[in-house]
A and B are shown apart, each in its own frame.
Chain A
Amino acid sequence: MGIVTAISLLALYIFNDMVGDWGRLSGGWENLVIFFNESLWPPDWSILEAQSYPVCEQEVELFCSVAWLGMVETIKIAFVATALGFVFALPLSVLAANNLSPLWMAIPARVILAAMRSLPSIIWAVLFMIIFDVGTLAGIFAMTFYTVGYLGKLQFESMEGLKNAPLEAAKAMGMTRAETAWHIALPESANHLLSHLMFMFEYNVRHGTVIGLVGAGGIGLYINTYLKLTQYDKVVALLLVVFIVVVLIDFLSMAIRSTVTEEGDVRRPSWSTIFLPASISSKYHTTPMKTSSSKEDE
């Protein structure tokens, strides 16, 4: 507790030091209120209507709308990049985990992962745009690179948190690194890997908006266009759409993770515990949903 207090106080001190002149803030609030009322609110929901061009051939008008087309493209990019990133990150993270691999393998693997994630995805996007020209391909490559770096780190850290006993039994028996990774490290950390994967997917959907800004396709391209046209009410509407999708992914993530739990079936949340607040769902389900990932100390 003392450490937390000390760090908080330190942060406040540094913050105050950096801002220096708080007086600059005065008047800012009124400006924000005026900007909000005149430009942002209410959101312009015309983004849910069919575009005037090309002519809509769908039965449902929504499917021709800016929001729908952009969001679907963004989700596609994020899905492909996350899946590819996951596949490439796994072997790298096994090499980077110091309980699975010797240091002479772990250190280079970590350096590679760090290099991939130290460039923000938007810089990767610019680099790949130079190679592949403007478009979806550059966006997918950029996102995949960043995803490998990010997911790889999350993955090797959760592998390093694995219980020691199964790894020791495997080592004593003479299992190879590949066997240990596939038959022990992967199933033992499945819950964490899934939750990282879903987090990364959600992150990439949100970042699709950023990558779109550099011309990589998706909803970000539209957001960028409306920003340039200063149609902020449409930007707000599109951001709300992104927000709703992110929330939906969060629910999906919970549902998927509930299929792999570390402890007994007691912890498996039912659908009502996912979609309803705990106070309501507990009326229907007597078994309380505990937080997963609490581990016995080894």
Chain B
Amino acid sequence: MNEVLAHLHDVSIGYDTPLIEGINVEISEGDVIAILGPSGIGKTTLLRTISGLIRPLSGEIELAIPSRGGLGYIPQRLGLVGNLSVRANVSMGARVRTSRWWPAVFPLPKEFEEDISKAMRHLGIEDIADQPVRILSGGQQRRVATARTVAQKPKLVLADEFLGELDDDNVEVVMRTVHATIRAQNSALIMVEHHEKLAKEVANRIWRIKDGKLIEEVVS
């Protein structure tokens, strides 16, 4: 039985003025949801609201996931630490699986190292594990950000256009790895994707944002 991970009750989102109003949706384990809509419509704002970074203008969001480590977020700008190595960036995902009292300056417990290496291997970045992220190409950086989330094993992944800048082979690799992660944890994925064809290939639900409304489309 798939549990409900998040529930949005009559939610309006935006900054000063509403961008999207009257959102009523449930997100359950196993869902792969693609958000479609033109630039500037509020897709990123929706992800930031669900992740708790900003409050909804009205309505209520219920999350049934742990506040530490339960939610993985791949921002549109990736949010990597340029001065740190690939490995250090990926490790941050694993770090939120420790107790919040595990001191920040301590190295991670041994059992996490395997997950970190595995995430890097799956995404083909183990060769550059010791390089600083700032010198990597856009596509490589995207895979580092994905590996960070894979090593985190979250219950709900929010990914903002994380397939951009990747060539076809790498889209394949990244999607396969993320799918595998979600299946293993029985998690859910919400991704913003500009390419409609790709979105329909990988997602089992589509949210289309249009005229300030969120419309759920049936995927054939």
Contacts and interface: CB of A to CB of B under 8 A. Distances in A.
- A-B interaction: yes
Interface of A: 163, 165-176, 178-179, 181-184, 187-188, 190-191, 260, 262-265, 298
Given A173-B96, A175-B95, A265-B135, A168 B83 contact: no
A262 B104 contact: no
Nearest to A169: B79
Contact of B88 (A183, A188, A263): A183
Contacts of B73: 168-169, 172-173
Nearest to B98: A179
A37 B39 CA distance: 73
Contacts, number: 91
B53 interface: yes
Best-buried of B66, B70, B72, B73 by chain A (most CB within 10 Å): B73
Given A173-B72, A174-B67, A165 B84 contact: no
A165 B78 contact: yes
Interface of B: 48, 51-53, 66-84, 88, 92-93, 95-96, 100, 103-105, 134-135, 145, 148, 152, 154, 158
Contacts of B67: 174
Contacts of A174: 66-71, 96, 100
B81 A176 contact: no
A15 B48 CA distance: 52
Contacts of A169: 73-75, 78-79, 145, 148
Nearest to A263: B134
B148 to A, nearest CB: 8
A46 B151 CA distance: 67
Contacts of A163: 77, 79
B104 A172 contact: no
B96 A183 contact: no
Contact of B48 (A168, A170, A181, A184): A168
B64 to A, nearest CB: 15
A65 B4 CA distance: 79
